[in-house]
Structure 1
Amino acid sequence: MDYKGYLIDLDGTMFRGEEVIDGAKQFIDLLNDRDIPYLFITNNATYTMKMLVDKLTRLDLKATEHNILTSAMATAKHIKDKNNQVRCYVIGETGLVKAIENEGLIVTDKHCDYVIVGLDRQITYDKLAKACLLIREGAEFIVTNKDAAIPTEQGLIPGNGAIASSIAVSTGVEPLIVGKPESIIMTEAIKKIGIKKQDVLMIGDNYETDIKAGIYAGIDTLMVLTGYSTSEDLQQVEVQPTFVMENLLEWIEKGFDKVTT
């Protein structure tokens, strides 16, 4: 398969915390050497674009802001496309707050049109209570992603889905999900990379987010066994990834632009 562009997950695919995963640097270097477009697409809404570029540069993974799409960015763009000026209550870290503000939306905790929830490692009961009250008053409930857990050097830790589920259970309101595997972020990714879907490969470590995102969008997929999902997990699913590799080194060694099924 001679793919003309790549959508690439970050956490669990390129790195775990501050640890670069085997094959990640070599693969990105090959893409740059061959002038093949790629877009890092992450459900992690804690990063600003600059924070991600700085981290990737620190890890010797080449990237600019043009190579990045986060669930925070996709969330802000989705809201802005529907409304020019809205009031948003935000549970999340700098990446989500900045993305909302960069689209000219108002971050507040009063008379809100939207409650937006992203990963917040300083979450408190008061924040959860405020979100529930605003949703009961009529605010639309949006979640950047539903990742139940995220991979780190220490292992899997609670993700944004764990936070959002408590609000959904309390209010009885199911949120709109923006991040992988949902269509909102994938539509934005295809638009941003500017390549037809049949010429793009989606790479990730999580079957439930990365691989399903590609499957739902009609894009070929490569699952690497470097993070969340395991080969045993694949035995339980009906629709398999297009390719499964131990890591990106194996993909490179098999000739990543000449692989056939």
Structure 2
Amino acid sequence: MPQQDIYSLITVLILAVLPSLIWLFFYLKEDLHPEPRYWLFTIFVMGIASAPLVIFLEMSLNKWGNSVLIFIIAPLIEEIAKYGVVHLTLNKNLVLDEPVDGMIYVIVAALGFAAIENVFAIFSFIPVGSSGYLSATFNFMSMRFISAVALHGLASGIAGYYFAKFYFIDKNPILILKGLFLATVLHGIYNFLIIKNGETFPLILAGIILGAAAVLVVYLFNRLKHYKVYQQAAVDTIAE
């Protein structure tokens, strides 16, 4: 591979990951008690690692038809994967010492997932080495920054809120199902609207829905901040 192409590839990969990193910075600065960098990095990387598996699974489920896959199956699989990363890694971990942590970590997993999804999207929609490749990539990532990447963070923020309620407040598993259901519905509606190529109104409606979801996630985030609930084990550890 020519050296120039290598530099272009590296630039493309940076542009693909950058939207997730920007959103990650935005969410983390809202946390009054910052999480350990080790666990943030671990969850982000595990979100990245889950993406190829999910994409492979979605490709193998094409037999269900594009509509069912895009609007129902894919959103459900992706939301379960992003939530699953946190549940399997941090369940009963003392790093979860306040309710807002549950929401933060699910969002971090989602942004890791979105970073690799961006890479797949670039290589699927923009011919490598084509004229204006880097410019097209930058424009493409700018659009995904305010759309697809934001969607992943917002949908998982909703799922993360219900995970936090389940983990700290009420051990009713219905809360987990409710969070995944609402996240999947938001994700599915978004997919349905943006698939309407060339139609302006669905895109405007998708933007309005994302804006409303952002307001909701900020509200839920602030609501969790007011819960002063800590795991007893964590409290005991701190006391020691």
Structure with higher helix content: 2
- For normalisation by structure 2, the TM-score amounts to 0.26
Give the TM-score normalised by the residue count of structure 1.
0.25
As a proportion of its length, which structure holds more strand? 1
